[in-house]
Amino acid sequence: MEQLKVVLGKRSYPISIGSDTIEKENIFYPLNPGNQAMLVTNKTLANLLKDKVFFNLRKSGIKIDQVIISDGEQFKTLNEVEMIISALLEKKHSRDTTLIALGGGVIGDLTGFSASIYQRGVPFIQIPTTLLSQVDASIGGKTGVNHVLGKNMIGTFWQPSSVIIDINFLKTLPYNELISGISEIIKYAIIFDESFFNWLESNIEKILVLDNDAICFCIKKCCELKSKIISLDEREKNFRALLNFGHTYGHAIEAHSGYGNWLHGEAISVGMIMASRTSELLGYLKKSEYNRILYLFKKVGLPIKGPKNMSAVSYLPYMMRDKKVISGEMRLVLPISIGKAKVFSGIDKNIILSAIKDAQ
């Protein structure tokens, strides 16, 4: 097992990565024997993993209750938050309780948001079960739920107390969920680390078959990169905005298509192609680098074209509601080369529309 640390002063926390991490002693930091906790998971994972996690929590002497919600992005709403809050109140959980998120990004976001508002804030632990949440969503303290007009429009910054990553959980993933997570791995390589991108080009097949060494290397690399960014810019005033590469376009696809019809990683995959094409049209990204990016997504089997029933112009209203918009000015994260990205504003709408049309 390997451990990293997100350095945020008094709110610093450990990330534990390995096989069977859930079975290690004292892994459920900051919980101690006799403490109260509420496990939040979905119906799918309740059948697959909940009993194993429950067993280890009880073995650690934790008084554990549970709330099980429906599975899917379409259930990332205030209704589910109310379900979690109601379960906490019904089971008489006080301000010293800890919430535990067992699931992917949806469960992590819902649990973190509920923890941030329950009795004005209680601790929570992330146990991410999808590749996407292990490399990205579980780290950094972004929580929230969707609104019909936009993704993640209701939320808070609320850091977890610890993140427990067990790579064995990835064996439960459907194949499309696995490759959805790979899109976020590619994101880190494109915006931060050219040598990591080169490594992915040579080793992507190992990740697709869940080779332990390759998966551990990828998760650790992404966690290291994100931890560094969070430590520098916790509340997205500066560098952290780079992590939204592809998301302005991708969130538009998710909102337009109806949450849950496109997996997050699939939508972001198309979004990254559109952002890369925008950069190429502006004269920043070389055509050869754009082609390398395109080929890697194709090699993984991720989508590179947006929904057929979504016109280019229909992206714009969603993109203008993006959280990076300032004073009515759209801001986009664009790669200027493989391994380096910048935030741009004032881009001609016709160039954005052309990039979208090229990926339709």
- Residues involved in catalysis: 120, 142, 184, 226, 236, 240, 244, 247, 251, 264
- The C-alpha atoms of residue 41 and residue 68 are separated, in whole angstroms, by 5
Inter-residue contact 126 to 15 (CB < 8 Å): no
The separation between the first and the last C-alpha atoms of the chain, rounded to the nearest angstrom, is 43
Strand partners, 184: none
Residues 148 and 144: their CA atoms lie apart, in Å, by 13
**Alpha carbon distance 79, 110 (integer Å):** 10
List, in order, residues 6 or more apart from 273 with CB less than 8 Å away.
Answer: 246, 293, 294, 297, 304, 359
Q: Are 89 and 101 in contact (CB under 8 A)?
A: no
Q: Which residues contact 306 (CB under 8 A, 6 or more apart)?
A: 249, 253, 270, 274, 315, 356, 359, 360
